[in-house]
Structure formats: structure tokens, C-alpha cells
Amino acid sequence: MSVLTGELKWWQQEIIYQIYPRSFQDSNGDGVGDIQGIISRLDYLKELGVGVLWLSPVYKSPQVDNGYDISDYYDIHDEYGTLADMDELIAQAAARGMRVIMDLVINHTSDQHPWFIESRDPASPKRDYYYWRDGREGGGNPNNWTSFFGEDCWVYDEKSGQYYLHLFAKGQPDLNYHNPAVFEEIKSIMRFWLDRGIAGFRCDVINIIFKESLEDGRRRLILTGSEHYISRPGTHEILKKLRSEVLDDYDCFTVGETVFVTPKMGQELCDPERRELDMIFSFEHMETDQFIVKWFKRKFHAGRFGRVIERWQQAMYWPAVYLENHDQPRSVSRFADDGRYWSESAKMLAVLLLTQRGTPFVFQGEEIGMTNFDFASLEQLQDVESHNIDRLLKRFHVPAGMRWRMLLRTSRDNARTPVQWNGESGAGFTTGSPWLGINKNHKKINVAAQEHDTESVLNFYRCLIGMRKQREVLVAGDFKLIEAKRSRIVYERSLGHERMLIILSFSDKPQRVSYRGDLIVSNYSRQTFDGRLSPYEAAVLEIMM
Ligand code: ISL
Ligand code: CA
């Protein structure tokens, strides 16, 4: 599926920047990022060279899961601002040639959403907006499913005498897509925002929205029951209809977050002929350092990583390329070295991100090489998932030291610490007390320190983004894996007569390779390439044909 037909669409030529609004920029000193804060950084984003901003949810929300629990889809969360602020952001971005996309969280709402509150009354017309079921005969949950956040996925509601389903936190009841009224509600929500001028959606856990049946699942270590809802035909139907009944009326695109997808499922979800999604985020490359479940780590292996990347580069018509988001630990801490070779490592990963086929997504702070959170106690973590998991592991008598090590490496808060704008006490993020701790390394790793340093990670990103825009071979050229082993990944991009070779070291030891060509990108200050690779070196060679 790697042959492209016709011209590239605008969203295939842009670099997308993910903003986690809570942690991006606070404008009023309450310690929480907000929309005015984002507006104040638009020039920075423009200069970085990104063309689209994806905002994690800014809708009204009790913030049980930082906005992924929505209580009003038609309004902005108070801490973040107002609808007028959002309109201003869209307009100010447009004035700089940038577009904004929003997160569309439609698998579930908040339990504080008026639909859910009404639905707790069994006689309410909203009852069927959610999955309400009787317990089993003799007591207990309606089925044996388990949730994404390490708990049961049913809650018994005294008021209505039944249980409701939630695949994520208790405060996130799942919507029932067997009910056509729910589908109509979603269509109006999408139109509301598209009419305000947004350019598309990142669709949260979109491949699991349709539950085909609520029967017991095969028992598994994680997500018992998932065979009943992962990429079922009902989901494909909904996506096709959202496309033809809403999205087709706008110049927009969608990128679906899809969990537990295989390349075949992924390809089916965004095959242009089928007209469902435009791109998806797959997770297999993020799982190469995990052992069955994310809380059990295995050593990162660049060879395994490279082979997974290759598989998805080949499988997808148009890949969404990313190494970080708000749910994953920081890439430089995870896949390379955030110590001695921090700068080389962050730049090497930038090359990996920006030389693959597809549309790259940069997560806030990745462009300055932000590292994992240096938290020192569980109390410093805010994420509902981290606390649930710790409780669950404790119940299974996993020793405290082991639980701690797991959280250090896997907590989603690793990615969620405030953006490090400068070396001052609030890191330029806030003048108040930040909602989540700021990494102590902000004294060294920050935007202000990198802004005018020609050797900085930030300026490396700027150059590379600029170069990618000039060279279509990097955007759309064929991808061919040449080598993938523990110490390095090498691949080739080609388009017509153009050929580039990308050599990435994942080792802290020097290596020798036999590739030669004109050196056009290096994360070391070199003019030519003679086959010697320094630790974590990245070299892009142009090969004349
Ligand atoms: O982050 C994960 C595990 O640590 C994933 O399983 C994650 O829960 C899954 O990718 C779904 O993520 C999305 O939906 C969640 C929300 O908490 C995440 O932040 C969001 O990206 C529920 O809305
Ligand atoms: Ca604020």
C-alpha cells in the first residue's frame, strides 16, 4: 500500500504539534495551562515550522482524566478559558498559516455529563445512551470484562438498581452506539466545532467505540472482553457515516487513536477507498520495550523497534508518525540516553521522527529534548491511571520497590510535566504553583537556553523540519529498511531519482559502517561521512544515482 495516487493533501505535507493544554503555558498564574497561554506561544510554534496544532481535550470536564472525561462538548473548561478564547486561538493560528484540530472523545463521557446524570433514571429517554445492565444472577458484574485502567469495568448504581459500563475510569461511562440518538449527538458536536473553523479531529480510542455484544470474554491478563469491541464491523459503519454525513462537508482530516490494532486492522481503518479515517496512531512500536503489559518493562532493543517501524511503514497507505504523546514516557529517556549523550540522543530521535514516510507528530517539549519526570514519591503523581495501577499491584502483593520502579518508568505523568520555557522557578510555565511538578532539569533543559544556541536540540528540530518541507522524498518517498539491530537502524527513502540513507546509532559505543554518500544532516559537527559512527549519531546521506 505504499504507492500514492495523485497529489499530496495539505495535512500530508504538514508537521503536527500536540499540545497538552494543562501543561503547555499558564497565562494567569493559577498553575494550570490555558488557551491564552497557547495563544502567547503561537509565534514560537510558527518558528518551529509546525502547521497544525492538536489540542488534547479543552472541553468542560471534571478532570478525572485530565479532560478525557467530558461533561459538556459545546463549551470550554473554565480553567482553560472560554469559547471566545478558542475562537481567538483558531483565528490567531490561521493568521500565522496554522490550523487547529481538537481531540474528539466519544467512546465515553464524564459521569457528570447531563446525559449520564439523566440516564441514571431508568425511565429517562437518555437511559439507552449508555450501557446499563443487571448484575449476574446471584450477584456480581454483568460480565467478566476488565478495564484499561486496571479495575473492573462495571459500577453498580444504587439509584437505578443496575450497573453501567466504563472501559476507562469509573467517571468515564461508555456511550452506547447501538442507539442512533447517540450517533446524531456526535454528528452535531463535530459540526459545531468544524463550523467554528477547526481543521479536523484526533479521535480518542476510536476503534473500540462499538461494543458488538456484552458477553463474557476469553480470560486474558489484560482487557478481558476486548474481542467484543476491538475494530468490530459496527465501528467501521459508524466511521463511514461520520465521514459521508459530516466530514465530507469540510476541508479537514481525522487521525484515530487505535488501541491493539494489527497492521491489517490499521490499513482497513484508513484505506482511502473505504473512506473511514485518514490516519491512525498505532502502538506496536511503543510496545517494543514492554513485556505483555506496559507496567512490565523489558530492555529496549533498537532492532525490534526498527522492524516494527518497517512493518507499519509498509502496511499503511499514509502513516501517522510519532514517538511521544501524553500517555507515553519521554522518548529520549526511553529509547536512547537522557544522561551523557542527551543532546545527541534527542537529535537522533528527531531524525527518526522526521525522516519517515507520513505525517509526523511532535509532542510538546519533545523539540527541546524534555526527559522523564524526576518525581520522588507517589504523591507527586496526579494521573488516575498511575494511582489505580499502584493500588491494583498492591492487591496482588507486588512489593513496594517493584511497584515504584514500574511507575518511574511507565507513569503517564512522565510526559505531562509542564513545558520548560526557561530556567526560572516556574520554568516560564507559571508564576504560581504548577498543577504537576516541574522537572528539576528545567534549569538546563529549556527553550530560552536553546533559542539562540545554534547547536541546540530546538534548532536542530527547526532545521530538520525546514529541510523536510523542501524534500518530498522525505515526506512521500518509499521506505526501505536496510538494517535493524541492537546498535543501529538504517533505512532508505527514495522517490524518482532521489535517494537518501538514514543511519541511526542506538549505542553509546563507536561503530563503523560501510555506507557512503553526501552528508546532509548530522547531529555531530561533521562535514563529511567516512563510516565512523559516534555514540547515538544520526547521519542522513544523499546518494547520487
Ligand atoms: O495510556 C495507556 C495506557 O497507559 C493507554 O492504554 C491509553 O489508555 C489508551 O491509549 C487510550 O488513551 C486515550 O484514552 C484514554 C485517556 O486516558 C488517554 O489519555 C487517551 O489518550 C481515555 O479517554
Ligand atoms: Ca491558567
pTM passes above 0.95: yes
Q: Which residue lies with its CA nearest to atom 1 of ligand 1?
A: 327
68 lines ligand 1 (CB under 6 A): yes
105 lines ligand 1 (CB under 6 A): yes
Say yes or no to pLDDT of 91 above 90. yes
pLDDT value of residue 291: 67
Say yes or no to pLDDT of 3 above 70. no
Q: In what order do the strands lie in the sheet with 518-522?
A: 478-485, 488-495, 498-505, 538-542, 518-522
> How many angstroms separate the Cα of 382 from the Cα of each of 80, 370, 411, 415?
18, 19, 10, 12
Ligand 2 centroid, distance to 97 Cα (angstroms): 26
Q: Which residue lies with its CA nearest to atom 2 of ligand 1?
A: 327
**Of the ranges 28-32, 276-280, 294-298, which one carries the lowest mean pLDDT score?**
294-298
Question: Which residue in 165, 194, 191 sits closest to 178, CA to CA?
Answer: 165
Say yes or no to pLDDT of 5 above 80. no
Ligand 2 centroid, distance to 395 Cα (angstroms): 37
34 is a catalytic site residue: no
Among the bound ligands, the one closest to the CA of 28: 2
Say yes or no to pLDDT of 149 above 90. no
204 is a catalytic site residue: yes
Mean pLDDT of the chain: 96
Characterize 228-263 residue by residue with b for buried, 16 or more Cβ atoms within 10 angstroms of its Cβ, and e for exposed: bbbbbeebbebbeebbeebbeebebbbbbbbbbbeb
% helix / strand / coil in the chain, to the nearest 5? 35, 20, 50
Residue with cell 523489558: 298
Q: Identify residues whose C-beta is under 5 A from ligand 2, the ion.
A: 26, 28, 30, 32, 34
Q: What is the pLDDT of residues 184-225, one digit of tens each?
A: 999 999 999 999 999 999 999 999 999 999 999 999 888 999
Banded model confidence at residue 333, pLDDT cuts 50, 70, 90: very high
Say yes or no to pLDDT of 173 above 50. yes
Ligand 1 centroid, distance to 282 Cα (angstroms): 12
Share of the chain above pLDDT 90, in %: 92
Ligand 2 centroid, distance to 140 Cα (angstroms): 43
List all residues 6 or more positions away from 367 whose beta carbon is below 8 Å from its beta carbon.
Answer: 48, 350, 457, 458, 461
**Of the ranges 368-372, 405-409, 414-418, which one carries the lowest mean pLDDT score?**
405-409
337 lines ligand 1 (CB under 6 A): no
Ligand 2 centroid, distance to 22 Cα (angstroms): 8
What letter would DSSP give residue 322? E
Over residues 232-244, mean pLDDT:
98
Closest-lying ligand 1 atom to the alpha carbon of residue 410: 4
Banded model confidence at residue 6, pLDDT cuts 50, 70, 90: low
Ligand 1 centroid, distance to 473 Cα (angstroms): 33
pLDDT value of residue 489: 98
Q: How far apart are CA 446 and CA 437, in angstroms?
A: 15
Q: Which residue has the higher pLDDT, 294 or 344?
A: 344
**Hey, which of 327, 385, 411 would you mutate to test ligand 1's pocket, going by the most ligand atoms within 8 Å of its Cβ?**
327
Among the bound ligands, the one closest to the CA of 435: 2
Say yes or no to pLDDT of 150 above 80. no
Q: What is the pLDDT of residues 472-501, one digit of tens each?
A: 999 999 999 999 999 999 999 999 999 999
Q: What is the pLDDT of residues 500-531, one digit of tens each?
A: 999 999 999 999 999 999 999 999 999 999 99
Q: What is the pLDDT of residues 47-85, one digit of tens each?
A: 999 999 999 999 999 999 999 999 999 999 999 999 999
347 lines ligand 1 (CB under 6 A): no
294 lines ligand 1 (CB under 6 A): yes
318 lines ligand 1 (CB under 6 A): no
Ligand 1 centroid, distance to 180 Cα (angstroms): 26
Q: How far apart are CA 185 and CA 449, in angstroms?
A: 47
The 3-class SS string of 471-511 reads CHHHHHCEEEEEEEECCEEEEEEEECCEEEEEEEECCCCCE
Q: Which residue lies with its CA nearest to atom 19 of ligand 1?
A: 327
Say yes or no to pLDDT of 174 above 50. yes
Ligand 1 centroid, distance to 21 Cα (angstroms): 16
Characterize 91-121 residue by residue with b for buried, 16 or more Cβ atoms within 10 angstroms of its Cβ, and e for exposed: ebbeeeebbbbbbbbbbbbbbbbebbeebbe
**Of the ranges 164-168, 265-269, 297-301, 418-422, which one carries the lowest mean pLDDT score?**
297-301
**Hey, which of 104, 172, 204, 387 would you mutate to test ligand 1's pocket, going by the most ligand atoms within 8 Å of its Cβ?**
204
Among the bound ligands, the one closest to the CA of 433: 2
168 lines ligand 1 (CB under 6 A): yes
Banded model confidence at residue 35, pLDDT cuts 50, 70, 90: very high
295 lines ligand 1 (CB under 6 A): no
Q: What is the pLDDT of residues 426-471, one digit of tens each?
A: 999 999 999 999 999 999 999 999 999 999 999 999 999 999 999 9
Active-site hit among 34, 103, 204, 310? 204
Active-site hit among 69, 79, 111, 257? 257
Share of the chain above pLDDT 70, in %: 98
